Structure formats: C-alpha cells, structure tokens
C-alpha cells in the first residue's frame, strides 16, 4: 500500500511556479547562440527526400557534455531534430509548438491548455479515443504538457512503432479541425474544470499562482492569467474560437519535431516527409518580445483558504530566461534559500520560526520572478509580519556576508549534475533538444547552458542582487485560514484589475481560414508496425560484501553517473501503533547532522559534489537512495558511511523535525487525497500500525522521544539481510572496492515478517470522511486481496484489470472522464507486497456529481465481474502490455527498481520470459474467472471524502447506510 508523505507544501507550491528550470522547457531565445557544426560526410551521404534540407550536424568530439543530433527543415517550415541512440530498442517522439498561454488574448484564456486536451480526442483519420488506444496497444506511453510559452506532445514506444506515432502526430497537426466537434468541446471543457478543481480549487494554497500573477503583471500582460485559464472564459467561448486559435498557432512552421532513439536517419526522414511534408504552413510566427516588469510600490495582497498554516509569499520581478542575469539570479536564490546551507534555512527553519522556507528563481520566456515563501511554526508565536521582517533582515545579512567560494561551488555543481542526470533517458535528451530549438533556435545549447553558470562570479551575484532585489518593490501575498483575515502580513494595498474582460466576438465557421493538405496516399490506413525489437533484460552481477550486504549490480554507459539503493529490513510496520511515525522520523534524522558534521556542513559537502543521499522509511524497510557523478563516488560513499554509522541524533534536529512532521500531519487534514488515504488505511487495517499512515498522527508523533529514535536505529539499521542495488558506468571490481568503506557497519536487523488480519466492514455502508464545502469529492472502492507475485495469480489479475481500470482508455476512465466529464482521471489497480495486497478503484470527481460517479463505478465493476472482458479487449491487452519491455529498463532508476524486485522476491533470471509467455497465452476464460473471483462489488469497502452534509442524504437515497469514519488523531 502506498503511503503519502504529508508535508507536501513544496510540491503543492511547485504547481504555482509556472516553469521547471531543470526541464529546459522554460528556455528563451539565447542572446548569443553557440557555434554550430557543419554537416559532416556521414550526414551528407544520406539520401534526403525532396523538400527536406539538412541544416547542421553536431557530434561528440571528446568527453564534453553534448547531445549529438542532426537538424533538418521541411519546405513547410517544420524543424526536425534527430538524435540517434542505440542503447535501447525504443523511440521517443516530441512535437513542441511554440504556443502557450502567453499567446492568448484577454477574455480567451486557457486555449493552449484546452488544446492539449483536444488533441488527444481524435483527428480526421483517427477515431475518437483512438490516440491513447493506439499508443497503449503499441506498448508505449504518451502525454502532453502546457505552460505559458509552449505546448508539447510526446510518446515513447518500441522503435518498430515509430511510423505509427509519426502518422498520429501528423494527423493532429494537419487534420484536426474536422474532428473538433461541439460535443467533444463540451466534454473536454468539463474535464478541464475537473482538472482545475483538483489542482487549484480543492488544493490548499492552490490559488496562489494566479493571485500572484494578477498582482505582479499589468492588466493584459501575457503572464497575468493562469495557464489553465479562467473558467468564465472557457464557459463563454465556443468551438470556433478554439479552431481559430489552432489555425493561428499550430502550423508546422511553429513546431519542432524531435525524434530520438534507435532510429535510422534515412528511413525516419522519409517517413517524416511522407506524413508531415504536405501539411501547409501556418501564418508567420515571430519570437515574442521580452516583457519583464517593474513595480512602483510594494503590493500587498491576500486571500483566505481552507489551510492549516498561513503562508507568506514574496516575489520580485527580475529578467527573462536565458538573459545574462538569469544564471547569477539562480545562484543568488541558492545562496538565500536553496536548502540547508542557505540563509533562509538558518534564520527561519533551523531556529523553528518556520516549518518551511525557501527561495527560487522561476523563469519564463518573457519574464522571471525571484520568489520566497515561509510557513510559520505555530509553536514559535511568529506572525506573517514577523516572517516578512526576518526575510528582509536576511537580505541585509547577505549584503554584509557577501558571496563565498563555497556558495559558487555548490550552486555550479548542482546545475551541472542536474543537467547530466537529466540525460539518462532518450526522453530526457529529446526534451532538452526540443526546448533548446524552440526557444533558442540552437539545439546544441547544452554546453553553453552549463558554461553560463560556471562563469558566474561573486561580483555577478552581488550585481544582480543590487539591481533586482535591494530596495526594490515586491508582491507580498498572505494566504490565511478561512475566517482569519487578521493574520495577514499587512492589509491589502493593491487590487488587481477585474477579470470581466471584453473579448472579441466568436468567429463563424465560414470565417475560418482552413488549410487543406493534399496527399498521394490514404491517411486513413493505420501504418503497420515493423518486427518487434529484441529486448534484452539488463545483464547484472551479484556479490556479497564482507559485512554481508547482498549486492546486485548492472552497468549503464548512458551517463557518467552512479545510482544505488540500500534497502534495510525494518520500517513503519515494525513500530508499535502508539509510536506510529517513528520509522519515518528516524530516517528523517539520519538525513540531518552526523557526529562529524552539522546538517549544514553535510549538505554543503554533498552539494559541492553534485551528489544526493536521501534516507526514508517505507512500510517494511529503511531505504537509502544515492546518486552521484561517478567521478565523485569515493567522496560520496564516505558520506554515505558517515550517515549510516555516525548519525548525531541531535536534540535540536529532533525537535525541529518532530515539529515539522506534526505540522505536515495537520496540513494533510486539508488535503482530500490525504484524507482518503488515511480513511482507506483505517477501513482496511483497523486499529493496527498498518491502519495509520507512516508519518503517524499528532498524538503518536508527540509521544516519540529521542531515545525511541535511537532504539529503532539500533534495532533495525543493520547490513545483514540488507540489499544494495547499484547501476553505474563503473566496472564491478571497482564498485566493490568503493563499497568497502561500509565494512565497519555490522550487525543484523531485528525485523521480522509482518502480516495483519483482515478487518470486517459493511459493504452496504458508505464510509465518509467530511471535508466541508469541498469542490471535489474522492471516491475509493476496493478491499484487501492477494499478495504480489510476478508470474502467478496477482500478475494475471493485473492483466485482467487492465481494460477495466489500468489504462487511459479503460472502461472506468472513458466513462467518468471522456463520456461524462465527471473527473480529471479515474483508475483501478491491484497493489501489494510479499505479505499483503489489495484492489482499489478511485477518482477525484466534481462534488455535484459524487453520487452519479459512484453509481458509474459500481456499475462498471459489477458488469465487468459479471460478463468479463471481450476478445477485442484481450487482444488489446496482449499488445499493450506485451510490447512494453523495450521501455522497462531504460534509465538507471528503472533498472534499480527491476533489480530490487529480483532480490526482494527471489525471482528467477528468466521471470520476464515467463511473464511474456503468460501475456501471450493466458485465456479469456481464465481472466474472466479472475474477474468473478476478485471483483465482487459486495465484498468491497466504499469510502467517500467530501461535504458530508450534502452527500449523506444523496447516498442514503441510493439505498446505502452512511457512517462517518473517525480518523486516527
């Protein structure tokens, strides 16, 4: 059973940062593009189809960080970037359109994001709901994302399926509009509303991003409205508004097609020309003007929300992405608030004035923001006004302190390691190439990107501080609990412009300037796949260290990195329920100071290496995850050993972490999904340790002492019976030599196998967890079931469930999301470990259709259990699941997970072949028998999280008893 970490405010607020700098998707056009290589003889020998021009070829010439590629352009303006990588038999296809919410107009917000949805709903030659089905059936994965500056669509598939994906992408680029109907428009409008409800309206602090944007940017600025749009805008427009937006921005001349993997360049270009070459170019598109802003005064704004802790958020306008000032501002953010070595950590978190505080510099193509936030620790008595003063005093401290050499070293190492780790997959390399091309016109920007950080000086950091922060005005936002307006940092001094924008009138169908492609082949014929690629299970080796650690290793030459996982028996289940949270707290303290170094000193040492050590507890283990550049592995392993053998278990660290945990638990009570998880554990496991989330409850965490932590550590954190899984470009003998540093770690964990009796519940009762005035409700239907296996009944049951709830185009999701528009997504799945397992169907749904959604869940499960799968569904499952092997082992993290299962479940080396044979041969009758056995609705518990006052009479009218479920406190 997956347990959610409760202190998730960083993740919550991440959605308010409109771009992720590490992804490269926030790139902007460079001031000085890097030098480009000329086509070499190898590339020149390719027979290019008419209509395609080779622009450049870039190859690696040594050990420099570079992504080799060839860049081409079609006559219609489409840019094509090819990256050949034969390490795995797969292909990744990315189509990036240089259009995001910044290309929209007042009164018509959310169009770019809306098209992210519409472009999965079929096109002229692809039937409704077929896009997901075709890619899934090909054994692939797919998705799309939208931000303020671009929209991208991407698929990863076995390489033999490449032509099919190019056909799909070309069809929605050139042949979408005839398939965009009013009916589809209405359904996806409801889906977007559900997405907003789930990600914004029903999430604590969810309206932060759009509130800040409205205050920071002037009326009509491209960033002054949210990417997801205002629902009033989407309610007002019609389908022709969307079609006009598509015709303006989604032409081939505003797109980059990037393809990576084990592809043949000549064959791929012929396919690209066939499917994309005839699509007419759209209106001309120019690079947008940069639009940074300044403020004439501090702007104080606030809103009330259903939150536990108030929050203060301050943001200064700065520059734009890829400007000369972006890198030093990023380094300034690291110094002020980037982790445990920062000034914000010292002045706000370490002394327990705040439970969380950070600084960042999110950048977009047209403008950037220097942002910081903090949440007060209630025990400190500090108000938001107090925290604001500490923030501003910290600026003054920085001025006196200045920039140190360590500041520069750690920030630069972090950027370089993040860049290199981002290249571990073909998808990572393709997305980076696509972003660089879209925003700079130069895919070969990676070395220049690293260099612009490495060249930052102390003087550069102080210069940008003086230019953008010192004495400058900011937006200061207070988010306070409902009814607590008196808690704001300062009374509002600014009122954003009203949202009642007057938009231009909607066009008529006859006014649309449609562009029709002319072909000499039949696009309605789905391309056939080539022969299935040969997929090799990663070669791995075994060893046992002198201190009896079981080691399983594999080689990976994609990047000069090492990733390893140490799994130590003993976790949440091995504590008493009155001390729930002890395992997590112990692991958390092992992430803090050691006997040799303070928390800050340890963090600095890791940052300077560009390494990461993360220790966390699961239900049954304590896991230590390590990532390092291989060149720094010796130093990193010495720090791993120090953390394992010499945790300080410092009292001040303990008190701070304990307070943060308690506030995280309190915050979770405002999050519907967390409430659902806590209620679900209670229903399935009752009054046992397994019935409590692994973070614990307020009362159990309060009861934990430092001696309890030391006792857990002494009992369980031992090497015998532990496992070390490693993926590296280093050879086995050299790696084992590196692991010798751990030989002083001795002993055997006291962990034993844990299981829990099943708990009785009434399947005719709907158990409810109340969340007043919830914009969405959470539904869970399921039960305890069989433990996990890899070739037995559990594995086959997963195959059985695939068409019910295991794929995007499963019966449940198509019904609730695509047909009804009740949810952003619905699913069902089996879960389990070696001892226990279960089944659950779940979704977050619109509050006003909670009862209707529940009925649909029950009907779908009941019908599937009664009548089973169809022959067509079995055929789809065989193809979709059977062709996924090419994607299973690509990245080091995927290899770690694969090998961890081999050790944990003592799997035979040919278990993958056995799985493949089961997928091919399992009969419809056997699958349907499993449905009858496991999906009896009257054996399942029913849980709903939502506004109980509204929902209780609705469910009683359906014939259910309704019982309020009391959660552990």
pLDDT digits (tens, 9 = 90+) for 773-804: 888 999 999 999 999 999 999 999 999 999 99
User: Which CATH number does 299-487 carry?
Assistant: 3.30.830.10
CA distance 823 to 853: 9
- Find the mean pLDDT for residues 112-139: 88
Q: Look at residue 22 and tell me whether its pLDDT is greater than 70.
A: no
**What CATH class does 50-288 carry?**
alpha beta
Tokens matching residue 40:
């070499």
Question: pLDDT (tens digit, 9 = 90+) per residue, 896-919?
Answer: 888 899 999 999 878 888 999 999
pLDDT at 335: 92
Burial 650-661 (b: 16+ CB within 10 A, else e): beebbebbbbbb
- pTM of the predicted model as reported, rounded to 2 decimal places: 0.86
Per-residue pLDDT tens digits for 304-313 = 998 999 999 9
pLDDT, tens digit, for every residue of 651-683?
999 999 999 999 999 988 888 899 999 999 999
What is the separation of C-alpha 840 from the centre of its chain, rounded to a whole number of angstroms?
22
For residue 430, the Cα-to-chain-centroid distance in whole angstroms is 17
Say what the pLDDT of residue 300 is.
Answer: 98
The answer to whether 946 and 768 are in contact (CB under 8 A) is: yes
- pLDDT-derived band at 6 (thresholds 50, 70, 90) equals very low
What is the model's pLDDT at position 19? 37
Q: What is the distance, to the nearest Å, from the Cα of residue 425 to the centroid of all Cα atoms in its chain?
A: 16
Count of beta carbons in the 10 Å neighbourhood of residue 70: 24
Instruction: Give the pLDDT confidence score for residue 291 in this predicted structure.
Output: 93
3-state secondary structure (DSSP) of residue 363: strand
Q: CATH assignment of 540-742, given 3.30.830.10, 1.10.645.10, 3.20.20.140, 3.40.1190.20?
A: 3.30.830.10
CATH number for region 765-893+905-964? 3.30.830.10
pLDDT of residue 11: 40
Is residue 7 classed as helix, strand or coil in its secondary structure? Answer: coil
Distances (CA, A) of 42 to 38, 46, 82, 266, 937: 11, 7, 14, 11, 62
For 125-207, strand residue ranges (E) read: 141-146, 151-158
In sequence order, what are the beta bridge partners of 255?
A: 97
Amino acid 119: pLDDT:
86
Higher pLDDT, 491 or 136: 491
Q: State yes or no: pLDDT of 479 exceeds 80.
A: yes
pLDDT tens, position by position, 617-643:
999 999 999 999 999 999 999 999 999
**Sign of the Cα pseudo-torsion (599, 602, 607, 610, in order):** negative
pLDDT at 616 over 80: yes
pLDDT (tens digit per residue) in 480-499: 999 999 999 999 999 998 87
Which tokens sit at 591?
């992430």
Contact criterion met (CB below 8 Å) for 310 and 479: yes
Confidence (pLDDT) at 37: 41
* Burial environment of residue 914 by CB neighbours within 10 A (0 to 12, 13 to 18, 19 or more): middle
Q: What is the pLDDT of residues 800-839, one digit of tens each?
A: 999 999 998 899 999 999 889 899 899 999 999 999 999 9
Q: What is the pLDDT of residue 132?
A: 87
- Higher pLDDT, residue 151 or 35: 151
Residue 254 near residue 282 (C-beta atoms within 8 A): yes
Instruction: Check whether 39 has a pLDDT greater than 50.
Output: no
What is the greatest pairwise CA distance in the chain? Answer: 79
- At residue 181, the pLDDT reads 86
Cα separation, 827 vs 805, whole angstroms: 5
- Each residue of 509-528: pLDDT tens digit? 777 878 888 888 999 999 99
Tens-place pLDDT, residues 540-555: 899 999 999 999 999 9
Domains 299-487 and 765-893+905-964 belong to one CATH topology: yes
Q: How far is CA 534 from the centre of its chain?
A: 30
The span from the CA of 551 to the CA of 545, in Å, is 7
Residue 499: CB atoms within 10 Å: 14
Q: Is the pLDDT of residue 26 over 70?
A: no
Q: What is the mean pLDDT of residues 293-307?
A: 95
Q: Which residue has the tokens 């993360």?
A: 614
pLDDT for the residue numbered 372:
97
- DSSP of 120-148: TS-BTTB-TTHHHHHHHHTT-EEEEEE-S
Please give the pLDDT value at position 503: 60
User: Taking the CB of residue 11, how many other CB atoms lie within 10 A of it?
Assistant: 9
Specify whether the backbone of 300 is left (phi greater than 0), alpha (psi in -120 to 50) or beta. beta
Give the model's pLDDT for residue 502.
65
Instruction: Please give the pLDDT value at position 290.
Output: 94
Looking at residue 1, its pLDDT comes to: 34
Predicted local distance difference test score (pLDDT) of residue 495: 93
Instruction: Give the start-to-end residue ranges of the domains of the chain.
Output: 50-288, 299-487, 540-742, 765-893+905-964
Q: How confident is the model at residue 232 (pLDDT cuts 50, 70, 90)?
A: confident
Query: Which residues share a beta bridge with 779?
Result: 843, 944
Decide if pLDDT at 877 tops 50.
Answer: yes
Residue 24 has pLDDT above 70, yes or no: no
């Amino acid at each position: 059973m997956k347990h959610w970490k409760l202190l998730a405010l960083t993740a919550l607020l991440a959605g308010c940062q409109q771009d992720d700098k590490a992804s490269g998707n926030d790139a902007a056009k460079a001031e000085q593009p890097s030098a480009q290589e000329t086509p070499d003889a190898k590339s020149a020998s390719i027979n290019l189809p008419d209509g395609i021009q080779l622009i450049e070829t870039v190859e690696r010439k040594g050990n420099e960080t570079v992504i080799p590629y060839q860049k081409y352009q079609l006559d219609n303006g489409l840019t094509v970037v090819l990256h050949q990588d034969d390490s795995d038999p797969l292909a990744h296809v990315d189509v990036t359109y240089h259009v995001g919410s910044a290309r929209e107009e007042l009164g018509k917000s959310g169009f770019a994001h809306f098209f992210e949805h519409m472009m999965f709903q079929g096109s002229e030659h692809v039937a409704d709901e077929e896009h997901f089905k075709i890619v899934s059936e090909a054994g692939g994965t797919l998705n799309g994302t939208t931000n303020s500056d671009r929209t991208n669509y991407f698929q990863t598939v076995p390489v033999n399926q490449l032509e099919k994906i190019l056909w799909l992408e070309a069809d929605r680029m050139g042949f979408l509009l005839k398939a965009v109907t009013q009916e589809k428009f209405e359904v996806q409008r409801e889906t977007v509303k559900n997405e907003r409800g789930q990600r914004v309206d029903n999430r604590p602090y969810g309206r932060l991003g759009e509130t800040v944007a409205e205050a920071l940017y002037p009326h009509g600025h491209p960033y002054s409205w949210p990417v997801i749009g205002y629902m009033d805008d989407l309610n007002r427009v019609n389908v022709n508004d969307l079609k006009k937006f598509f015709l303006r921005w989604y032409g081939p001349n505003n797109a980059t097609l990037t393809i990576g993997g084990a592809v043949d360049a000549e064959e791929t270009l012929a396919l690209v020309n066939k499917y994309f070459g005839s699509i007419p170019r759209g209106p001309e598109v120019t690079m947008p003007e940069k639009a940074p802003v300044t403020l004439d005064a501090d702007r104080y704004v606030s809103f009330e929300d259903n939150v536990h802790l108030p929050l203060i958020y301050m943001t200064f306008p700065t520059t734009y992405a890829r400007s000369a000032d972006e890198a030093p501002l990023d380094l300034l953010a690291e110094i002020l608030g980037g982790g445990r070595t920062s000034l914000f950590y010292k002045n706000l978190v370490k002394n327990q004035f705040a439970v969380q505080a950070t600084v960042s510099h999110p950048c977009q193509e047209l403008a950037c923001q220097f942002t910081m936030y903090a949440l007060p620790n209630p025990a400190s008595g500090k108000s938001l006004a107090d925290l604001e003063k500490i923030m501003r005093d910290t600026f003054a401290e920085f001025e006196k302190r200045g920039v140190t050499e360590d500041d520069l070293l750690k920030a630069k190492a972090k950027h370089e390691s993040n860049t290199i780790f981002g290249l571990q997959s073909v998808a990572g390399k393709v997305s980076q190439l696509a972003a660089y091309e879209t925003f700079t016109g130069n895919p070969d920007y990676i070395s220049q990107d690293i260099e612009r950080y490495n060249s930052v000086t102390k003087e550069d950091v102080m210069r940008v501080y003086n230019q953008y922060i010192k004495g400058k005005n900011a937006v200061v936002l207070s988010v306070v609990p409902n009814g607590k307006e008196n808690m704001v940092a300062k009374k509002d001094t600014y009122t954003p412009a009203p949202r009642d924008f007057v938009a231009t009138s909607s066009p008529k169908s006859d006014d649309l300037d449609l562009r029709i492609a002319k072909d000499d082949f039949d696009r309605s014929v789905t391309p056939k796949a080539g022969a299935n690629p040969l997929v090799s299970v990663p070669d791995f080796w075994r060893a046992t260290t002198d201190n009896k650690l079981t080691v399983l290793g594999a080689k990976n030459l994609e990047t000069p990195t090492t990733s390893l996982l140490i799994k130590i028996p003993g976790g949440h289940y091995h504590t008493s329920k009155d001390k729930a949270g002890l395992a997590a707290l112990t692991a958390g303290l092992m992430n803090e100071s050691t006997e040799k170094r303070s928390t800050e000193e340890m963090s600095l040492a890791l940052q300077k290496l560009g390494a990461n050590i993360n220790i966390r507890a699961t239900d049954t283990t304590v896991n230590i995850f390590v990532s390092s550049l291989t060149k720094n592995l010796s130093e990193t392993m010495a720090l791993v050993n120090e953390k394992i053998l010499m945790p300080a278990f410092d009292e001040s660290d303990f008190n701070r972490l304990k307070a943060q945990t308690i506030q995280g638990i309190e915050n979770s009570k405002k999050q519907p999904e967390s409430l659902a998880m806590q209620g679900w554990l209670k229903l399935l496991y009752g009054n046992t340790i397994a019935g409590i989330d692994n973070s614990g409850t307020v009362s159990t965490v309060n009861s934990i002492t430092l001696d309890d932590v030391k006792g857990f550590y002494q009992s369980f954190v031992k090497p015998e019976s532990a496992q070390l899984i490693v993926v590296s470009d280093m050879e086995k003998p050299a790696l084992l030599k590196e692991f010798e540093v751990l030989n002083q770690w001795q002993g055997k964990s006291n962990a034993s196998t844990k299981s829990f009796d099943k708990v009785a519940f009434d399947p005719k009762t709907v158990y409810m967890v109340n969340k007043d005035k919830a914009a969405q409700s959470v539904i869970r239907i399921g039960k305890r079931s069989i433990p996990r296996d890899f070739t037995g009944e559990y594995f086959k049951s997963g195959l059985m469930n695939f068409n019910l709830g295991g794929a995007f185009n499963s019966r449940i999701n198509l019904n609730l999301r695509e047909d009804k528009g009740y949810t952003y997504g619905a699913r069902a799945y089996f879960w389990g470990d070696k001892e226990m397992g279960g089944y659950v169907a779940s979704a977050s749904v619109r509050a006003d259709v909670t009862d209707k959604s529940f009925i649909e869940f029950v009907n779908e499960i009941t019908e599937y259990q009664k009548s089973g799968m169809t022959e067509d569904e079995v055929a789809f499952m065989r193809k979709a699941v059977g062709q996924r092997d090419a994607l299973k082992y690509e990245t080091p993290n995927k290899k770690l997970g694969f090998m961890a299962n081999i050790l944990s479940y003592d799997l035979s080396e040919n278990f993958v072949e056995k799985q493949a044979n089961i997928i091919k041969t399992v009969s419809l009758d056997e699958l349907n028998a499993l449905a009858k056995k496991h999906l009896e609705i009257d054996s399942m518990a029913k849980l709903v999280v939502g506004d109980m006052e509204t929902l209780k009479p609705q469910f009683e009218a359906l014939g259910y008893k309704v019982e309020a479920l009391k959660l552990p406190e």
